[in-house]
Amino acid sequence: MHVHRDLVPLPGGGGVIAATFDDREPYERDVMPAYGLYFDPRWQPLWPHDVVDWPDFGLPADGVVFRRLLEGALARARSGDAVEIGCWGGHGRTGVALACLVVLAGVDPTDATAWVRANYCPEAVETPEQEAYVVNFGAPSR
């Protein structure tokens, strides 16, 4: 498994650090994030953070909470805060979160997964259900 600690610039400004949970030194950083949004219960850093209930290879348990936390993370990133997001491997859940962030940043939902694969990691967003979630994330609320 390759380890991610990659700054991903977002369309329209700001950026987030996409991270793998590295069992060897999970919280060692040259610069500590101002905020972290994580998608695996292993993440329990000392800096301010939230952990989304989200099974590996699945979807967020509460889409409303997920959207609210992503909107907050995007606002923080655009204001210049160091924002980190991550799951365990840095591909499925992290990829979906990045794709949803770029949808919030203005990328067409049908292009968001390809954008993340081109600008972050070709292995991002692992399942067809996750790809569909990204497309539907951009659909108007009913």
CATH code of the domain in which 113 resides: 3.90.190.10
Strand-strand pairing, 15-19 and 5-9: antiparallel
Per-residue pLDDT tens for 87-102?
999 999 999 999 999 9
Domain count, the chain: 1
The pLDDT value recorded for residue 1 is: 65
Phi/psi of residue 92, nearest 5 degrees: -70, -70
**What string of DSSP letters covers 82-137?**
-EEEE-SSSSHHHHHHHHHHHHHTT--HHHHHHHHHHHT-TT-S-SHHHHHHHHHH
Nearest to 134, CA basis, from 106, 104, 105, 113 = 113
142 in a domain, yes or no? no
Global pTM?
Answer: 0.95
